[in-house]
Structure 1
Amino acid sequence: MVTPVFPAKSPVLIELVRLLGDSVHDLDSFDDVDLYEEIVFAVGHQHSTPDFHERPAPELDDAEEHVRDRLGKGWFTERSVPTPQAWFSSAGQIGDIVLREVTNHLPIGEKPAGALWTSSFLPDGRSAWAIGEASEYPGSARRIFALQFDPQPVRTFVIAEPDHYRELVMRYPRPMPDGRALVDWIAAAADLDAVRLTAAGLVFAQNVRVPTRYGIAQLRGWDAESTAWLNRPPALRMGT
C-alpha cells in the first residue's frame, strides 16, 4: 500500500499553478468562468500524468494562498446546491433513483452508482459539466435541462477539502479488501439527499489520498463541480 502524503499539495492544485504560471499572482484578473475552465483543464491532466496524487510542494505555499483566496469570491462561494441545476440527458426523463453497490476496483467505486448527477450553471449560463460533456460524450445527442427544486429541505453534504471526504467515509465506511475505504452510498442515502463537490473541492480534494481507520480513502472520477443526488430532489420540475 502507498502511504499517503497528507496534508500535501493536491495534484489538481499543482497542475493548475503550472497552467497559470505567473498569472497565479493576479487571479482577480480572471473572471469566474475563465478560472473554472483552467481548473477543469488542470483536472484533465490526470490522463497524462502517471502519478496524479498529492505530494509535497512547499514552494507552492504562496500560490496556494492566492488560489484559496480567489475561490472564496464570486460564483465559487456557493456552498449549498443552487437551483436550478444543469442535467445532461438524451431521454429527458428522470425515474426513481436506485443506488447500486459497486464491487469492482474502478474509480466508479468513489462515485455513487445509480445517482442522479447534476452540475451548477456558470455565470455565462453554461453547465459546469459542459467541458466534460464535450470530451466524454463527443457527438452525443444529450441535451441540457434545467432542474428546479425546493432547496430548503435538501440534506446536503459539501466536499470542499480532503477532510470533508474523509468525514464522509468515516460516517459511512465501506472497507475494501485491498485496503481502500469507500463511502457506503446506500447507507449515506438514509441521511443525505445530495453530495456536492464544489470547485474548491475539485482543486483541493480530488485524487488526494486521506487516511481513515478503515483504509485509504480517495475521491476520484468526479472531474467537475457536480452534485450526486442520492434521493430525488424535492418538488422537482424540469425545463430546458
Structure 2
Amino acid sequence: MSRFPPLLRALCERFEDDPSEVDSIDDAELYAEIVFSGSAANSDRCEDGGGELASSDVLSRIESRLNSGWFELGGIPNPQARYAVAPELQVVDLWEPEDWLGMAAKPHGALWTSSFLPDGTPAWSWGEPKVARGSKRNCYELHFRADEVEAYTIDSLQDYLDLVREFPAFTSDGKINVRWRSVAEVFDAVRLSARGLVYSSGVKAEVKGRPTVLHAWESESTAWLTVPPGAALRAIG
C-alpha cells in the first residue's frame, strides 16, 4: 500500500507556502483545490505517494476541514447535479469488468451525478469540459425519493477495500476490483465523497493477495447502478 494518499500529498503541497490559507478559503474553494490536486496526483511525481510531508501543520489543517462543513455530507444529497444533452434519463446498463481490462474500479454504464457545493456549483463542473469534448450538455437537478435509496458511501480507503472484498472482480491482468453488477443487487448507488476522493484515489492497496486501486473517478460523484426511485430531471433556474 502507498505510504501516503497521492492526492492528499498533492493537496498539502499546494498550501506549504502559506498553511493559514487552508483556514481562510471556503468549502467550495477548498474543493476546487482538491480537484486541481487530483490532476497533479496523476503525474509520475506523485503517483506512488510515499515519504513524509514537509509540514504536519498543513496536514492537520486540511484534515480538520475535511471533517467539517460540506465535506461531512452523509448519504446522497437531494437533488443531485446531472449533466446531459437532454432531460431524459438513460437506461442503466452496467458493463462486466472483463469488457474493459483493469477498469473495474469504475462502474461503466452507470448514471452519474454529483453533489452541489455550498455556492451552487456542481462538484463535477471542473471535469465536464474534458468529458463533453465540445458537445453541449446542460446541467439539471436530479430529484429522487431519497428515503427509498440504498446507497454505499466510499468515505475512506477502507470503505473502498471493503467493497472490493465483498464484491470481487478478478481481472485477467492479475488485479482485483469491483463486480458492479453484483453491487447493484444490493445497492442502488455508490457515492464517492470528497473526503473519500482525497484518501482513496490512486492509493495502491491489496485485497485477497491481488493489487487494487480506485482510479478515474476524479470528482465527488455518485454512480447510480439503477435508475433512482422517483427520478426526475429539472432545468436549473
Q: State the percentage of identical aligned residues.
A: 35
Which residue is equivalent to 2:48? 53
1:29 corresponds in structure 2 to 24
Query: Could you tell me which of 225, 229, 237 is aligned with 2:232?
Result: 237
Whether the 8 Å CA contact 2:84–2:137 is kept in 1: the answer is yes
Counterpart for residue 184 of structure 1: 179
Structure 1: 5+ residue stretches without partners: none
Other-structure match for 1:175 = 170
Which range moves more in the overlay, 210-219 or 82-91?
A: 210-219
Query: Which of residues 124, 127, 139 is equivalent to 1:129?
Result: 124
Match runs of 1:1-240 below 5 Å:
4-5=1-2, 8-49=3-44, 52-57=47-52, 59-103=54-98, 104-106=100-102, 108-240=103-235
SS of the residue corresponding to residue 167 of structure 1 reads: helix
Deviation at 1:169, TM superposition (A): 0.2
| 1:60 Cα deviation after fit | 4.9
Identify if the C-alpha distance between structure 1 residues 60 and 155 changes in structure 2 by more than 3 Å, giving closer, same or farther: farther
CA distance in 2, matches of 1:44, 1:58: 19
SS of 1:211's equivalent in the other structure is strand
| Separation in structure 1 between the aligned mates of residue 136 and residue 220 of structure 2, nearest angstrom | 22
Per-residue CA deviation, residues 158-181 of structure 1 (Å, 9 max, x unaligned), is 112111110000010011232211
- By how many angstroms is 1:59 displaced? 4.3
Paired residue type of 1:105: L
TM-score, normalization: structure 2?
Answer: 0.92
> Residues 184 and 56 from structure 1, CA distance in 2 versus in 1: closer, same or farther, beyond 3 angstroms?
same
TM-score (norm 1): 0.91
Question: CA 1:232 to 1:224, structure 2 compared with 1: closer, same or farther past 3 Å?
Answer: same
- Superposed CA RMSD in Å reads 1.7
Unaligned ranges ≥5, structure 2: none
Residue identity opposite 2:32 in structure 1:
E
Contact 2:82 2:139 (C-alpha < 8 Å) held by counterparts? yes
Do the aligned partners of residues 51 and 176 (structure 1) sit closer, same or farther apart at CA in structure 2, a change above 3 Å counting?
farther
* 1:211 Cα deviation from its structure 2 partner: 1.3
Q: Distance in 2 between matches of 1:221 and 1:171?
A: 21
- Preserved CA contact (<8 Å) 1:121 1:128: yes
